[in-house]
């Protein structure tokens, strides 16, 4: 849990790392609202953090900035524990949630997991909500995810940026992995954040930060590099998918990992576009070798270990 003096009263950030997104607990006269719920592997930890902080008080609302598995994987566990919980999601994928289409929701294409959950209300861009006794504006933030939103409290110049902006960059531009142009949308979202002029940012991953201008400059530099060399972004995206699964498993035999990776639709699509004539297995081994050289994994006796 991150106790940050720059945050207003009633705002608590649970900094979770990279497998699970950060969670933000808002408490005020309107009750308690949790923003994002992490990955399914950490669902019990998410619930424990919320219970420990609320000390027996109920959780009234669960709000998702977007529906990637690392942001909503704890939804069902929270709904089970708090039966009166209202769950709010951005409108773009509401039909897919109702039908529980794992393809449309990205869980099948990425090879990730997310237990089915329900939603009660839509978090519409352009709306404003009163949580923790402050107004939160909902802004559309496409790019990383076409349906993502960010939340801004102008009174405190406090922004929850989800994966649109981190202190060291931004999330993989998932539409680009599918061959859909979205780098311009990332740029437009960065411009939106600059116009909002936040003083403090709670990112989807990483620590709360106040050095907004340098973060925007770094993000724009990375975006320019990806736009000029889409293969570089594709390789980055592939390595993120591989590393995410290794984070989930901790360790796994090379054989089992190869079997899983060969069945992941996004990885197969990226290989088809950027494999340069290499076999899928050879291309995947190249990605793993790059992760090993960067210190992101270790290989011992045919077993991959997260590092």
Average pLDDT over every residue of 172-182: 96
Order of strands, sheet of 128-131, starting from the edge strand that comes earlier in the sequence: 128-131, 134-140, 149-153, 158-162, 200-203
Predicted pLDDT at 3: 46
Kind of pairing between the strands at 303-306 and 297-300: antiparallel
Q: Is the pTM of this model over 0.85?
A: yes
> Has residue 58 got a pLDDT over 50?
yes
* Residues 85-123: tens digit of each pLDDT: 999 999 999 999 999 999 999 999 999 999 999 999 999
For all residues of the chain together, what is the average pLDDT? 96
| Domains in the chain, CATH or no CATH each | 11-228 (3.60.15.10), 231-306 (1.10.10.10)
- 3-state helix, strand and coil shares in percent for the chain, rounded to the nearest 5: 40, 20, 40
Kind of pairing between the strands at 200-203 and 149-153: unpaired
> Has residue 5 got a pLDDT over 80?
no
pLDDT bucket at 6, cuts 50 / 70 / 90? confident
> Has residue 28 got a pLDDT over 70?
yes
- With a pLDDT cut of 90, the percent of the chain lying above it is 98
Strand partners for 14: 23
Average pLDDT over every residue of 229-256: 97
Helices (H), 137-211: 174-177, 183-196
Look at 1 and 255; give whichever has higher pLDDT.
255
Average pLDDT over every residue of 201-230: 98
Predicted pLDDT at 230: 96
Predicted pLDDT at 200: 98
DSSP single-letter state for residue 169: B
- Apex 249 CA angle, 244 and 252, nearest 5: 115
> Has residue 212 got a pLDDT over 80?
yes
Average pLDDT over every residue of 19-48: 98
Average pLDDT over every residue of 205-220: 98
Phi/psi for 299 (5° steps) reads -120, 120
Of 2-16, 64-78, 91-105, 260-274, minimum mean pLDDT range: 2-16
Element (H, E) at 131: strand 128-131
DSSP single-letter state for residue 35: E
Q: Are 156 and 10 in contact (CB under 8 A)?
A: no
Q: Name, in order, each residue with C-beta under 8 angstroms of 48's C-beta and a sequence gap of 6 or more.
A: none
Predicted pLDDT at 4: 53
């Amino acid at each position: 849990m991150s106790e940050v003096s720059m945050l207003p009263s009633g705002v608590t950030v649970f900094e979770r790392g990279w497998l699970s997104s950060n969670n933000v607990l808002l408490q005020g006269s309107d009750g308690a609202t949790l923003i994002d719920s992490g990955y399914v592997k950490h669902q019990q930890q998410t619930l424990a953090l919320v219970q420990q902080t609320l000390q027996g008080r109920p959780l009234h609302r669960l709000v998702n900035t977007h529906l990637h598995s690392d942001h909503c994987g704890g939804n069902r566990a929270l709904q089970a524990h708090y039966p009166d919980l209202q769950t709010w999601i951005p409108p773009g994928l509401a039909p897919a949630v109702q039908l529980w289409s794992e393809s449309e929701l990205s869980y099948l294409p990425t090879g990730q997991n997310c237990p089915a959950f329900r939603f009660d209300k839509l978090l519409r861009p352009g709306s404003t909500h009163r949580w923790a006794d402050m107004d939160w504006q909902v802004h559309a933030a496409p790019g990383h995810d076409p349906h993502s939103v960010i939340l801004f409290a102008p009174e405190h110049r406090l922004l929850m940026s989800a994966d649109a902006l981190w202190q060291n960059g931004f999330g993989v531009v998932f539409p680009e992995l599918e061959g859909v142009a979205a780098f311009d949308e990332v740029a437009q979202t960065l411009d939106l954040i600059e116009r909002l002029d936040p003083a403090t940012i709670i990112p989807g991953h990483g620590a709360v930060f106040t050095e907004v201008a340098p973060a925007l400059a770094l993000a724009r530099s990375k975006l320019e590099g990806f736009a000029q060399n889409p293969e570089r972004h594709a390789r980055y995206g592939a390595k993120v998918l591989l590393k995410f699964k290794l984070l989930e498993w901790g360790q796994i035999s090379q054989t089992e990992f190869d079997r899983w990776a060969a069945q992941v639709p996004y990885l197969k699509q990226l290989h088809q576009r950027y494999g340069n004539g290499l076999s899928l297995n050879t291309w995947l081994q190249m990605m793993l070798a790059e992760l090993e050289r960067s210190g992101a994994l270790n290989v011992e006796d045919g077993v991959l270990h997260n590092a």
